[in-house]
Amino acid sequence: MDTGHLNKHISGQFNEELENVRSQILAMGGLVEQQLMDVLAAARDKDNDLAHEVINNDVKVNNFEMEIDQECTRIIAKRQPTASDLRLMMTIVKTITDLERIGDLAESIAKALLRNDSKAPDVVKFNLEAMGEQIVKMLREVLDAFARMDVKAAWKVHLHDKKIDSLHEGIVRQSLTYMMGDSRSIPEMLDLMSISRSLERVGDHCTNIAEYVVYNVTGKDIRHTSAADIEAIIDDQ
């Protein structure tokens, strides 16, 4: 397994602890990615059983978050890490919070699907499916960037969020147009808009994780930094 920018320590046990946490967070990311793929498949196939499975599996995501958080707390108390090691701990703690929230959003989408016997126009369904595919790709790429601590790959994910925002805005416009033409469709279309909003928020959480990767590798907090300045920071790596 590529250890990316993980530091090596004189203490072999410390190295093992860091690798264990890293493996856990990648396993959590894999589970969250599966949750997202399952809920999108449930939407495509109108599979209520799969939607229920996504809801039931959310507890596994929550358990991952608690276990990793506890392990990070134990490592910080025991090892009292400084500099890059402390940044790594902070990166992990923040990342698992965003992954847990992505899991919550998958659960929220599953619940909306169970409420919604969709008779929406094909164009809205098609665009939602296309948006979902882009979101899964975005999550997969940011998890890969995290695994390799690759700031350039993380920045590509960050830039992709604008496309997700544009897709969401298009779905909202289409849904509003449809509701104005048929008031009976309002409850159903509101659910579809909620699903689109949840997917857009998944993109935001992927963007957050990308920022944590840049922070861990460079030591720079890029949350309120211009694109030009961020690119300069990345080019220095």
pLDDT in tens, 163-172: 999 999 999 9
Q: What is the number of alpha carbons within 13 Å of residue 140 lying toward its C-beta?
A: 10
pLDDT at 26 over 70: yes
Handedness of CA 109, 113, 119, 123 (dihedral sign): positive
pLDDT at 1 over 80: no
Per-residue pLDDT at 3? 44
Lowest mean pLDDT among 52-56, 193-197, 233-237: 233-237
Distant-in-sequence, close-in-space partners of 177: CB < 8 Å, separation ≥ 6: none
Query: For the chain, how many residues are written?
Result: 237
pLDDT at 237: 67
H/E element holding 228?
helix 227-235
Triad 190, 196, 198: Cα angle to 5°:
105
As given in the structure block, the two tokens for residue 200 are 């857009």
pLDDT 10s digits, 176-220: 988 898 888 788 888 889 999 999 999 999 999 999 999 999 888
Asked whether the predicted pLDDT for residue 44 surpasses 60, the reply is: yes
Contact 197, 168 (CB under 8 A): yes
Confidence class for position 141, pLDDT limits 50, 70, 90: very high
The pLDDT of residue 4 is above 60: no
Q: What is the pTM of this model?
A: 0.89
Non-local CB neighbours of 94 within 8 Å, separated by 6+ positions: 208, 212
In the numeric block, which tokens belong to residue 236?
Answer: 């220095």
Question: Mind giving me the DSSP string for the chain?
Answer: ---TTPPP-S-HHHHHHHHHHHHHHHHHHHHHHHHHHHHHHHHHHT-HHHHHHHHHHHHHHHHHHHHHHHHHHHHHHHH---HHHHHHHHHHHHHHHHHHHHHHHHHHHHHHHHH------HHHHHHHHHHHHHHHHHHHHHHHHHHHT-HHHHHHHHHHHHHHHHHHHHHHHHHHHHHHH-GGGHHHHHHHHHHHHHHHHHHHHHHHHHHHHHHHHH----TT--HHHHHHHHHT-
Single-letter code of the amino acid located at 3 = T
The full set of domains in the chain, from first to last, is 12-235 (1.20.58.220)
pLDDT in tens, 76-134: 998 888 888 888 899 999 999 999 999 999 999 999 888 876 666 666 778 888 999 99
End-to-end Cα spacing for the chain: 22
Q: What percent of the chain has pLDDT over 70?
A: 92
Identify the three-state secondary structure at position 1: coil
